[in-house]
Structure 1
Amino acid sequence: MSAHYGFPRGRTAIVGAATFGIGRCPGVSAIDMAAKATLLALADAGIALSEVDALYTSAPYEALGGMELAEYLGVTPKVTDCNRTGGSAFEVYVQQAALALEVGLIDCALIAYGSNPASNPPPGVGMTRQSPWEAPYRPLAPISSYALAASRHMHLYGTTREQLAEVAVAARQWAQLNPEAAVREALTVEDVLNARMVSDPLTVRDCCLFNDGAAAVVMVRADRAKDCAKAPVHVLGAAHAVTHREISSMPDLTVTGAAISGPQAFAQAGVGPGDIDVVMLYDAFTITPILFFEDLGFCPKGEGGRFISGGHIAPGGGLALNTNGGGLSCVHPGMYGLFLLVEAVRQLRGEAGERQVRDAQLALAHGNGGVLSSEATVILSRA
């Protein structure tokens, strides 16, 4: 295997990407949504459904989701996966698909997801399971876990609620440039601070959306990618780390597994944080981008709040973050990780319209699962 730090750098590519049903999608089942996003992504790539021989999904309410989607699409994949690392699963799938493509196990990988919790709420929505060590404190799952991390970061490093609010405001400003975003009304720091408190220090505006949405991407080897309908977006690096399940077992509330996955992905890619033009970070809550910027090496530990301040991550700022509006203002249908990848692809192709980052060459997409439990980093390149 020709590889860079054990990874097939640039030898695989995303050649199709699509979303479907963002916001509310009444009358359409979750698997229907995933299938519709799939067909759009395949059309985007100029690849037939019959060419798909690997299927990666994370069905929201079906333990056998990989088989369910394969049956629904009428494909017979050589590889299926339906892992349970939460929102990071889709970045993990990019890593797995790249390795399977490189060794010739598969030729065309489909990564797809659809979920409609807003228009069709299932029983027991959310992360309802609680450990016996946490249950006596009656936390709101998963919000209280992220609030705990935010409180610790504020205590240790002086991070302020105003800085947390700036993350939400920047996301909304990007969403206002994205006609697909679910929420586009104006939002100010004061609006965030004065919103209903959910789990101190997080208000409802510090929390991600709860809406419908589907997405899909298609991956092939780089030699096949040259014949596809759109310019390929090459995968330069991908890494993953799991540090715990419950927040009470997190080794350090202010250090996530991104401190492991990020350096590995950068080493594979042969680039550093300063080379990245577009950053897509899982923003289930306003504290998460602050933690990830630190752990991925964009700023020192403890400096995340100051790093994002002053409009630095907003349109016209120094570093473009979550240009679709993120999970805070665009879409978060239970798991957001695949939408990160779609937006990164659109930016690198120059397809982002009014929110397009000028001459974007490199993008980073970072997924988060559980309660800061599973972290996965993917680095993508236009060249």
Structure 2
Amino acid sequence: MSKGFEKRVIISGLGMSPVGRRTGRSGLEMTVTAARAAIADAGLSPADIDGLATVGDTPRSEVQDALGLELGWGVTGNAAEDGNAAGAQLGAVVNAALAVASGLVRHVLVYRTVLMKGGAVATTGEVTGMREWMLPFHEYSAVNMAAMMARRHMHDYGTTREQLGWIAVTARHHAALNEQAVYRTPMSMADYLGARPISEPLGLYDCDVPVDGSVAVVVSAADYAPDCAAPPVRLAAVGCGLRGRPSWDQGAEYPRGAAWDAAAQMWSRTDLKPADVDIAELYDGFTILTLDWLEALGFCAVGESGPFVEGGADIRLGGRLPLNTYGGQLSAGRLHGYWLLHEACLQIRRRAGARQVPGVEVAVAAAGGGPLGGCLLLTR
């Protein structure tokens, strides 16, 4: 099924810290908790880990020291910059897979840790790059850029707020089955539509939920599969293309983002097709980004993602493409795409409990929006 280096690697271990809002835990504490869980889940010890990768949060040197790792390789990227060309937030997984497939290392620990943080955009000092063109028009955060994408999608294709709402309502429905999800109280369409606006046309429930938490995975050489303590997850293909302008709003095919380049690259690296995918764990930092991924990955035609999700039947558990089965970042919590990966692996292992989709063989996990995009196609 894989055409390249992907066939030489597996995901052997999964780990997650407790997740919550303003938990008071440090980033290092949560990272070490998730890392130890992932290493044990793989049937390994810290002494077996010879690689360490992250996209930039808890310092790699601190994690190495806390776990007592003896490394042959390590890399730190940044989800907003260095991660672009290697799969956005999932770039660390791609980097780890490349290192393992090359034979440089054998078992790489990959982690992503987030902490709720406050703060405001600086209004003094030098502002450069694309920010100098945006700040004068009061574009202060990603929600403003996502809102422009949503408005353009509505203008071009007739997408409605209710259609965006079905992504949020479905996420909350799935979160009710996930004990770790931050928000599990049922949400109705009336609740969604009645929430306060954030950046029109996006409202409160179009935006993901900041949390404290950490996810870790172990990427191992494929020949370790028979020795895994839990069922290994195979990597069928990766997508990390970024061929257009690295901008939220200056692409030639706006409002399409980097998701389209990443998806095209991923499908070019495998014989599998969109129709083979059993579940989709797609980035929902904002609801419009999920629509972009659905179209980019070929689950529906251009402009038809709104009708695809409308009513929620097709994207709920039991539907033709269960979407963000753990509750997504909109209800479970924002772990920058890594909970999406964790859930995809759980589903493939058939260990997702009450939210398990029967007979999962193929899953896709995708992260990023605008100029950031990366996706992984996973199989049993």
Same fold (TM over 0.5): yes
What secondary structure sits across from 1:269 in the alignment? coil
Which one of 70, 80, 96 corresponds to residue 76 of structure 1?
70
Mean alpha-carbon deviation: is it higher for 340-349 or for 85-94?
Answer: 85-94
Aligned-residue offset at 1:249: 3.0
Q: What CA RMSD, in Å, does the superposition of the two structures yield over aligned residues?
A: 2.1
Unpaired stretches in structure 2, ≥5 consecutive residues: none
CA distance in 1 between partners of 2:261 and 2:135 (Å): 29
- Who is 2:207 aligned against? 207
- Who is 1:279 aligned against? 280
Aligned-residue offset at 1:122: 5.5
- Who is 2:109 aligned against? 110
Q: Is the 8 A contact 1:239 1:265 kept in 2?
A: yes
Q: Is the 8 A contact 1:313 1:320 kept in 2?
A: yes
Counting matched residue pairs gives 368
Aligned-residue offset at 1:9: 3.7
Between the two proteins, what is the percent identity of the paired residues? 35
- Who is 1:58 aligned against? 55
- Who is 2:90 aligned against? 91
- Who is 2:145 aligned against? 145
Q: Deviations 1:208-263 (Å, cap 9, x if unpaired)?
A: 00111110000111111210101100011012023444424333332122222112
Q: Is the 8 A contact 2:241 2:265 kept in 1?
A: no
* Structure 1 residues 247 and 110, CA gap change in structure 2 (3 angstroms): same
Matching residue's letter, 2:328? G
* Mapping for residues 1-383 of structure 1, pairs under 5 Å: 4-5=2-3, 7-24=4-21, 26-60=23-57, 65-86=59-80, 89-117=88-116, 121=117, 123=119, 131-242=131-242, 243-311=244-312, 312-333=314-335, 336-368=336-368, 372-382=370-380
CA distance in 1 between partners of 2:30 and 2:358 (Å): 32
What secondary structure sits across from 1:234 in the alignment? strand
Q: Is the 8 A contact 1:92 1:239 kept in 2?
A: no
Matching residue's letter, 1:348? I
Q: Is the 8 A contact 2:53 2:93 kept in 1?
A: no
Matching residue's letter, 2:38? A
Matching residue's letter, 2:271? G
Aligned-residue offset at 1:4: 4.9
Q: Deviations 1:78-133 (Å, cap 9, x if unpaired)?
A: 2222211348544222222222212211110110122221xxx355599x996111
Mean alpha-carbon deviation: is it higher for 195-204 or for 267-276?
Answer: 267-276
Q: Is the 8 A contact 2:348 2:362 kept in 1?
A: yes
What secondary structure sits across from 2:136 in the alignment? helix
Q: Deviations 1:278-313 (Å, cap 9, x if unpaired)?
A: 101010011111111111111111001011112211
CA distance in 2 between partners of 1:268 and 1:248 (Å): 28
Q: Deviations 1:181-216 (Å, cap 9, x if unpaired)?
A: 110011111211111001000000111001111100
Matching residue's letter, 1:300? A
CA distance in 2 between partners of 1:21 and 1:276 (Å): 29
Q: TM-score, normalized by length of structure 1?
A: 0.91
